[in-house]
Structure 1
Amino acid sequence: MDNLRRMVIFFHVVKAQSFSGAARQLGIARSAISRHISLLERDIGTRLLNRTTRQLSLTEAGKTYFQSCARIVAESEAATQRINQLQDEPRGTLKIAAPVSIGNQFLTPVVRAFMQRYTEVNIELLLDDEIVDMVAENIDVSIRVGWLHDSSLIAKKLGDWPRFLCASPGYIEKHGRPEIPAQLTDHEWIIFTRLSAPHHWTFTKNKRQEQVQVKGRLRTNNAGVIHSSLLAGVGIAAQISFLVEEDISSGQLERLLPEWDCGKAGVYAVYQDRIYQQAKVRLFIEFVSEEFNRLI
């Protein structure tokens, strides 16, 4: 590592034709420049520079070594330029993770629109209801519903989706329509196990709260299973509004206890680094935030 630094110093000494000139360019003392060159020559076992009181000149070995140093400096500068472009211009592959239902119904159209706007960005979209390890999987942005547990990550809240309590007309015809939250204890629920307390619900109306403990034979960690089971008349469930609004409009599902608030689901864009955030990440988070606010 020290010799890499000394190669850069040697390159600048040759380009400046003096220790003093290199010292000014690099912002270090002339004596430090001289010491680094001496240590470099010692480590590689040959003299690189002929020194006189008036000028410096390259030895034969120095000429060969300078060509290698010049290539290293050029590659380093090119790499820095490429990284700066990534910071300033959206390009390259953007890897995004999201739950399956959110990804299918909300995020996929957003991704398509983003790709149309930023043609130099490729998207890899990973849909999984399990929370992925963003570092291990090299994820740039994760769209999450609910609380953020990873203290090392940064979350931008996109907003809240209200939860709608729903059932199919067939279920309601067979089991009846609950009129108050307390009656929900007599109904069959479809239990979403990813919630922190899936059997306990709080309903609010005019600042009055009622807590209900529910039961159900079907338990799942997949929102898609809950949705299809709702449509099939298996039971009652509370789903984020975005996933069931069309079904309610078409009559395939009916909203229960609409005057009672059964909570909201916070939606977050999660990423790893605020300081060195690449343009593709920053612009996607801004884009998805705008699209979310347009929908709600």
Structure 2
Amino acid sequence: MDRVTSMAVFVRSVDGGSLAAAARHFGLSHAMVSKHLRGLEQSLGVRLLTLTTRKLALTEAGDNYYRRCLQILADIEDANREAMQLQAVPRGPLRLTAPVAFGEQYLAPVLVDFLERYPEIVLDIELTDRFADLAGEGFDLALRIGRLPDSSLVARRLGASRMLTCAAPAYLARHGTPAHPSELAAHRCLYLNGVTTPGEWWYEVDGSQVTVRVDGPLRSNSVALACQSARQGLGIVFGPAFALEPSVAKGDLVPVLAGFSSGALDIHALYLSKRHMSKKLRLLIDFLASRFSRPVGTDAV
């Protein structure tokens, strides 16, 4: 007898509370259902069910076997579903969210290429610097840069973004240019919540990474707001290169501490579950991983 079919008959008998329930579900005779169950018990060498004229009950071995059968049958169903999806053209909507500056400068051209490859997929994109609630707001995917809060979400690393330390020429003219990370304590520093640990920046000094305590008049979760504040001379900003380099290119900001590497921040894709991931979502994540395999920003490492 087919073992998987026998397991399915066993589970249906337990769920339905009788052999008759399994017989009706599978279109089998009562005798054939009994044959499936006897075959399982004989092959396992244990008693799975206790049968009376009025009641069906699981033995201890049967209860354990029932739970394992549920998982095995679910895995088989998932495998069949995935196999069928591979034959289907990926189509339909995907909702994703990403940081504003990263989305506008780096993500947009990548998604255009993705849609050209998979024209039946429709992307619904929200660019925001806040941490959206994937389940509550109906997002399939979120891109995050920097520290990840503790959550039940699945995270896959896609790549990294270089970090830069910058200030406006006017600020440096008034307050001087720091020559060493330790001198930042005497400066007005603008830092990003959710990207770095509040009040802490890091640099490589003499071959070792050191953490520098900083303080200043502005804390924000918005890269754009911090960048604009730095351009207006409010202080020194430490943030992802992709957000700061356009202002550097225009001369609105000047890199400082260029001789001290700040490493990179990880870029992650966050989603709800590996178990029930659709083919189109898996394709998108794999595509993003391939395109962001090199660090984003100037002086990529």
TM-score, structure 2 as length reference: 0.68
Corresponding residue pairs, total: 244
Give the secondary-structure state (helix, strand or coil) at the position aligned to 1:157. Answer: strand
Q: CA deviation at 1:82?
A: 11
Is 1:167–1:255's contact at 8 Å kept on the other side of the alignment? yes
- The verdict on how the C-alpha distance between 1:253 and 1:155 changes in structure 2, with shifts beyond 3 A counting, is same
Read off the aligned partner of 1:219 and give its amino acid letter. R
Read off the aligned partner of 1:166 and give its amino acid letter. C
Deviates more, 1:235-244 or 1:199-208: 199-208
| Paired position in structure 1 for 2:204 | 204
Is 1:89–1:279's contact at 8 Å kept on the other side of the alignment? no
| Paired position in structure 1 for 2:236 | 236
Distance 2:26 2:210 in 1: 75
| Paired position in structure 1 for 2:48 | none
- The verdict on how the C-alpha distance between 1:130 and 1:246 changes in structure 2, with shifts beyond 3 A counting, is closer
| Paired position in structure 2 for 1:252 | 252
- The verdict on how the C-alpha distance between 1:149 and 1:200 changes in structure 2, with shifts beyond 3 A counting, is closer
Distance 2:189 2:239 in 1: 12
Matched, 1:192 2:166: no
Distance 1:139 1:118 in 2: 19
Read off the aligned partner of 2:93 and give its amino acid letter. T
1:1-296 aligned at under 5 Å gives the runs: 13=27, 19=29, 28=36, 84-85=84-85, 88-195=88-195, 197-294=197-294, 296=296
Is 1:202–1:262's contact at 8 Å kept on the other side of the alignment? yes
- The verdict on how the C-alpha distance between 1:268 and 1:283 changes in structure 2, with shifts beyond 3 A counting, is same
For 1:165-203, what per-residue CA distance to the aligned partner results, in whole angstroms no more than 9, with x for missing partners? Answer: 011222222222111112212211113233453212232
Give the secondary-structure state (helix, strand or coil) at the position aligned to 1:287. Answer: helix
Greater Rg over alpha carbons, structure: 1
Is 2:160–2:295's contact at 8 Å kept on the other side of the alignment? no
Deviates more, 1:111-120 or 1:191-200: 191-200
Q: CA deviation at 1:226?
A: 0.7
| Paired position in structure 2 for 1:48 | none
Distance 2:112 2:185 in 1: 43
Identity %: 31
- The verdict on how the C-alpha distance between 1:180 and 1:87 changes in structure 2, with shifts beyond 3 A counting, is farther
Give the secondary-structure state (helix, strand or coil) at the position aligned to 2:130. Answer: coil
Is 2:223–2:243's contact at 8 Å kept on the other side of the alignment? no
TM-score, structure 1 as length reference: 0.69
CA RMSD of aligned residues (A): 3.5
Give the secondary-structure state (helix, strand or coil) at the position aligned to 2:179. Answer: coil
- The verdict on how the C-alpha distance between 1:208 and 1:277 changes in structure 2, with shifts beyond 3 A counting, is closer
Q: CA deviation at 1:294?
A: 4.9
Which runs of 5 or more structure 1 residues have no equivalent in the other structure? Answer: 31-79
Is 2:224–2:243's contact at 8 Å kept on the other side of the alignment? no
